[in-house]
Structure 1
Amino acid sequence: MLNFFTAAGALLAINLLSLAIAGRRIWPRLGPQPAARRRPPVSVVIPLCGREEFSRETLESAFRLDWPDYEVIFCVADARDAVIPLVDDVRRRHPAIPATLLVGDDPISANPKLNNCVKGWNAASHEWVVLADSNVLMPADYLARLMAAWRPDSGLVCSTPLGSRPQGFWAEVECAFLNAHQARWQYAGEALGFGCAQGKSMLWRKSMLDANGGIQALGSQIAEDAAATKLVRGLGLKVHLVSSPFDQPLGSRTFREVWARQCRWARLRRVTFPQFFSPEILLGVVPPLVLSVIAAIGAGHSVAAAAAFVAGATYLPELALAHRKNWHLSRWSLIAMVTRDLLLPVIWVRGWLARSTDWRGNRMWIGAHESQLETGAPGLANLS
């Protein structure tokens, strides 16, 4: 039974260590951020597909950046897309910011978001290019944070999505997945030298990527962020993260939406980085809880006390991290974290077994050596 207690303690210690590393690495969301040492011209490329709940707000945010010289390039695959009139309206409201809307599709890969970005990348007129998802809410210092994170050994700077403004319980669960779980582990990994790209916001040097296959090189994997990670590491460079992640307002979410998204991401991680996906089964409260309960039963100790200790050691530090960093917290947050952790093992198993997933009414087939997207409608923007 001692071995079970030891294993449970080790998992809890690793969880606590990751929280401590992330807590030290991530700056508070509402506090001052590092200043950019240089402020060169930047091209911001934003792929779009359809209108969403916060589309107007996120589009408007791209025109309110505190940066001396930047352009915004919107990419839409389908000329009939309902988001086009909104883009035109927002552009008219901000004539001082150079903005372009490009329509058309370049099917260079099985990744619809990447295909949508090709024309924007080719049209970008500056050396520094940001590929940003349409649902990122850009703060005024968006470009400053990205540029400030660039180091001499950087090949890419990016940001994880930070869930905010959830409406309903399943949006709270989405926050629990995105914030103190996925963002925490990604920042902890980056701090230990294992930085991985996240496709939400990616800052590139155009000449560097163009010299190594161009944007087409990001089609070597079904997910462009996985391809970006492998490309950057292959060049002997690193992926770095911004000081504090950028908000993604969630609004309402259903169980089906949260489930589909997390299963899709799990399958993509399984295919692109199986060596990192395999130990994910050890994350969350379930593994140390099961081990502690088995040990308590075998040793004749109180099962309730063991379970309470594990729950407290798991969730109190996570809640403290979210509070210190000014991330979303509500009366539902703890229950949402527990729900997330109960789903994690099921999602992990599905990541190994499922070969397809639904995405915006389309069936994605994702295999270890090939990928395919059966589209029911043109103009797909991203896999987020």
Structure 2
Amino acid sequence: MKRDLNLIAAGLAISTAGDAAALVALLLRLQPHGSGWVAGLLAAELIPYVVLAPLTGRVVDRFETRSVLLVALAGQAVLCLPLALVSALWATVLLFAGITALSAFVRPATSALVPAITGADAAQKGYARLATGTGLGWIAGPAAGGLLTGAFGATAAILADAVTFTLLTAACAAIRTRRHPAPHDPEGATARGGLRLILADRVLRTALLGSAIAVSAGVVDNVAAPFRFVGQLGAGDSGYGLYLTLWGIGALLAAQVVSRVPLGDAALIALGNLLIGAGIAGIGLAPTLVLAFVASLVGGFGNGVTNVAQNALISTRTPPDRHGRAFAAAGALIQTAIGVGTAAASPLVTALEADGAMLTAGLITGVVALIALILSRSTA
């Protein structure tokens, strides 16, 4: 139903903006206390997705999906209140980890609900609609977080995030579509975990493992980009912010056109990663700031293609009653890749400087994506 999809997309746009604003506020709150606390916050953003994946997937598949969403989103709104008010650094990190843990239920639940709303044949368009909402949120959120924190302090930005969680909860409460668990499982098939589902399917295995390796290399961009834009290209803080915005705009544009590209989802994932690699390498090579900004658009466009196609591929290659497990496992795989790549980024930037690190990361991402693209054609 178009109405239900629009409700989720609008709610995600608002909530994603709130999440991005709150993350900026928390980073600004912790930064004066040292890089260790910042690293702890970023770890709290990643680890729950990996550790809780077996549980979150089973919960999404075992209970009515909209109900899971409502409980998790309401819990996030509630946790934002003490997070906004506490001053202890350990409590800030712990509460943020709790919000992320609940998000680990929200993401697979939302992804699993889309095919139930659109039907299997139109799932890709449904994921593109949700990517539009998320993309708008990520474009607006960081700027809003900086402005709110600068004008009113971190507390205001985090309280605003609580409001956005409440609005998304209300949007999900208005959804009419229901995704119920399978009534019975005579062969015990639903006991199979999400990672086993992915690895057992040759197309999924090739696409998602290739994507994880590409992400692990490409995430070096997150660490190297500030040094590249500010230190080497002389962009200043505003120029670095424009790079982030352009990347988000590229992803937003991709969500509008990806369903019109005459390729299968596995090939689209590889093509998207290839464009990400080209964008990152292009930023590393760019002799001028303008060309670096163009490369940012290319990389963001590839990011958007990959995100939509990956969700669509998982939904079509796994049984509907096990979508929760499959999406949770895929999310854990990508988050693990992000963690590995982030850990490797700092020594790589130190050894090669920002431009060399981005060029290397982009080339590795592109080579892995090209191999995955070739394999996708042979496994299709």
Length-normalised TM-score, structure 1: 0.26
Which structure carries more helix by proportion? 2
